[in-house]
Every structure is written in structure tokens, then in C-alpha cells.
Structure 1
Amino acid sequence: MNAPPLVAVVGPTATGKSDLGLALAAELGGEVVNADAMQLYRGLDIGTAKLSPAERAGIPHHLIDVLDVTQVASVAAYQRAAREVVERLRAAGRTAVLVGGSGLYVQAVVDELEFPGTDPELRAALSAELDERGPEAMHARLAEVDPEAAAVVLPTNGRRIVRALEVIALTGRPFPARLPAGGAPRYGAVMLGVERDTADLDARVARRVARMFAAGLVDETRGLLGQGLRDGLTASRALGYQQVIAALDGAGDHSCAAAETVRATRRFVRRQRSWFRRDSRIHWLDAAAPGLLGRAMAVLAAQVGS
């Protein structure tokens, strides 16, 4: 008996991926595998719109709440953990439903991506050089050794510049800045994209942020600061949390923090759209149209039967 294919539910923030993923898992007798980088963190609940245990309706969810806020999220570590879960579920005859909007995390599961290792001493030296010289000077250095990587990595993205230089030094090869175009996805994955009209999604983002602040995002952030959130290189940059931290460090204007969270989330939505729209394997579904689950199931039936 063939193992069931992986089902991936992807797309921009606030489109309704979590609800569709949950419904598909219930319909298929499957389990959800998280592909949202910030939902890996314990305590980042309100600001990531993480489904509560009650909202999960008894459907097992994997790779949620697996990191402390002081830990750095690693795509390579996520890839190993996610593939282990997917393969275990498929071997048991259960459908894995991969749900999230972190494009590289999704691609790390469904594509043949290789992540070079790291050298803490080399990384520290390059980071110190970045602090001393600034990202533009480091980007110029990258352009000398790997022009193609420099053309893709933004001159302002110091963290990625450092990573590119580290990989080049470790491997002696160009930095794989351009990700694979995407062949047949692993695990026979059927990739479903959830989208909405831009005006509709903008309004949903604003309503979601308002609900988050009303639900206690500021208090949640204060509590996480006591757990070391400020020192977490990844978690402290989560949308909503970084804006609240800035407000707490400044004038404490929560209304400005909320407004900036809306603006930042809308910018993030545009980047997500740009990322996922490059992947021709994704079957796009309008979440605002009736019968979303039925349409998703129809795509699955057509793809699995083909």
C-alpha cells in the first residue's frame, strides 16, 4: 500500500491557512506539521495566531512550541525534524498536512535543499567585522568573491551577507543564493496555496492585529522579556513582538505599535506572495469563495489520481 502524499497548505499571512489545514487533516485522518518559523517558539502565541489546544480539535500538531525564545531557529534543524515527522506519519498510513507561510521552511521539506554547516568561530569573526565595517562594505567583499550571490543578497541584509561569506569560506564553493527552481516535490506533495483579494487581506490583517492587542499581546511580550526574548536573535524579530518591544523601550505608545505591526505585516504579505508565486506547482485557492474545503479536496483527488 502506497504511503499517502504530503499535503502542503501555504500562502500569505491571515489568508486562513490554519483553518484549512485543520479541516483537511480532519477530513483525511491526518496530522498537522507546522511550517511557520515563529510558531516553533514556546510563548509566542497571540502574536503568531497560534491555534490553541482547544482550537486544534484533537488533531495532533507537530513542531509547535519546540524552542525557547532565546534559541535561534535553524532551517537545517527544522528540515531534519519535519522530514522525520512526515516520514513517520506516512509510514503509519497517515496524511501529513504541512501548514505555514515561511517559504524557505516549506521548501526545505518538499525540495532537495542542502544546508552547509557552520563554524562558530568563523561566524563570530565575520559578525564582528560586520559590526565594525557595516553591511555595505561586507556586501562589497561578497561581490568580489561571489558576484552572483551579491546580486541576490540585499546590501542591507548583514546577517545573510555573513552567512554567504561563511559558506564560501567553509565549502570553497559559491553561496547557493538562488534556490532550486523546483522539480517534483518530495513525498508526492500536493501544494495548495490560499489567497485573498489584496483589499480583503489588508482588512483582515488590520482586524487580526487589533484582536491580538486586545487579547493581551503587550502583556504576553512583557512576560517573554522576562524569559530572555530581547536576547533571542530570531524570536525578538517576530511581527508584533518587535513593535511592542520598541514601544516598551520608548514612549510606550501601544496604538503606534499596533499601527506599525499592521504596516509591517502587510509588507511581509507582499514578500510572501512574491516567494510563493514563483512556484508553479502550487494550486491556488480563493479563500473568500464558498466551499474552500471541497475545492481543496477536489484538487487533491485530481492530483493523487493523476
Structure 2
Amino acid sequence: MKELSMSVITPPVAASFRSWQEVFRMVAKHRVLATVVFFAIFPWLMPYQSLAINILIYGLFAVGFNLLFGYTGLLSFGHAAFLGVGAYTAGILIAQHNVPWWAAVPTAVAAGCLVALVMGLLAIRTRGIYFAMVTLALSQCVYFLVYQLPASGGENGLRGVNVPEVSLLVLKLDLLNPLQKYYFVFTFVAVAMWLLSRILASPFGGAIEAVRENEARARACGFDVERTKLLSFVLSAGFCALAGALNAIHLSSVPIETLDYATSGMVVMLCLLGGMGTYFGPFVGAALFLLIQDLASSWTEHWQLLVGGVFVFFVLFFPKGVWGTFLQKASHER
């Protein structure tokens, strides 16, 4: 009887597994398209559009950090510097020099990459915890330099980053409308994710993963390890600076806390929650963190305790993160 029941139940279950495996392969093969389709409907899945915008922006910030931490294996505690430099550069150009947004955003990305180049040249020769501490120290130097700039607004932050309307090709978007602002940010995120996919699929993507897995062997195979790590550091900063510029436009201001070391710690948490070294994991981590923060802060002013407890739970029971654990289980089923 047991064998009969198994013979009856197993084929449908096996067919179901095979169908899910096919879907998984298709999504993995067309990950950029799958990401774009998901985020196209994402604002309708969230309680309100402003939360969806925050998830996009902080997810992009975590994507930049993940390129360095998850794919290259370098733990940085200084990535708030790149988010802040991108935000302040775009904000100052728009608010105080009347530079159009389409010029301010790429300038902010270039500024973030330039700061990363200087920081990287100083930090990249160190390893492990020393690299993390050097990036933290350099990030704090950036914090105090920006804090002392008259244009930054000091402890009050930068105000007046007003971009009420933008034109994308033939479309005009009203950024005072949260849904239209979402799709404005979504356009940049889609391009960034396409670029990330191209980077990971390139020989350089293989090189950074080789450095992550075994630096000594990568060096023995002829890779210029220092140059590879430096380029990864700069590219990572570019994604973070883009997130900072978009956040300045979204908030119409730039708080000085953007550059604080706590922001660097937060992006580590986002990456670990979602799954380091995964393509979509940073957005999962950002969504989980911001949703918990949004819900818990409406109940209590001590919402950090709940977020900390959730983080400890996932580190203990989902060490590869939410998305990383899902990918691991899906690959085992295949």
C-alpha cells in the first residue's frame, strides 16, 4: 500500500519540482529582465510608494557594497562616504548652482568614483580587518571634510534640492507624485542592474571572484590582484554614489547622517540579510530591513531592538541570507 501511494504521489510532485526548476533556470538566465519585470509592479505590492522608493535606493546602495564585499571578498566599513559624496555633490549642484539633474547625477557618480580611487589607493594594500578599519577611518575623514564645507549646511544638512519635474525622452514625470518618482528612480536602477550583470559576466567578474576565493592562487595565475581590487572598489563606489544622488532628489535634502559610520554599518546588515554574493539579495535585504523598520517604528520608538533581534535570528539560522538560502535550496533541488 505504501509503495502504491508513493507511486501515485511521486510523479506529480516530481513534475512540480521539474517545472519549478525550469522557471528557476529561466529566471537565472534572464535575471536582468526578471528584475525589471518585478520592480515594474513592485510599488503595487508595498503599503505606499515612498517605501518602495526607499527600498530601490537602499537596495542599489547595497548592490554597490555587495560588489566589493560579496563578489570580491573585501569588507569595507566606509561605504557611507560614497553614498554621502554622491548625495552632496548632486545636491549642491542642483540647489546652489542650478545645474540640471541630468548633469548633476553623472557628476555625482564621477565624484564618488574619484573619492573611492583616493581611498582605495590608500586602503587596498591592507587585508582583512585592517582593510575594514582603514576604510572606516578614511570615511570619517570624508565625513568631517564635508561637515566643514560651508556649502554642505553643517549639522543641519543640505536643503533645497528641488527637482519638481524631469523629462525622460518623450516622457515628463512629476516628481511630486510618488508613483511617478518611483519610476524615475526605477529607470536608473534598471540600467545599474544591467551594468552589474555585464560586469559579473565579463572576464573582470571572473577575476574578482577568483580573488575572493583564493587571492594567492589568483596572483599565481597571473591576475593583477591589487589593480583588480582597486577597480572593484571604484565600481562599487559608483553604484553607491548613484544611490546617494537619487536619494538627494527623492528627499529634496541631504542629512549629514548620510555620511555617518552607522550608515556604513547598515549597508553591511542589508547585504547579510539578503545574501552576500547574490545578484538580487541586496534588494531583499533592503526590503526586509525597511519593512521591519516601518512597521516596528509605528508600534514603538525602540524599533532598533526588534531589527537587531531579527538580524541575529537570520545570521544564526540563515547564514547565507534570505535570498542566498533560497538559491541554495533551489540549486540542491535541481
The TM-score normalised by the length of structure 2 is 0.23
Higher alpha-carbon Rg: 2
Quick one: higher RCO (CA 8 Å, sep 6+), 1 or 2?
A: 2
The TM-score normalised by the length of structure 1 is 0.25
**Higher strand fraction (1 or 2):** 1
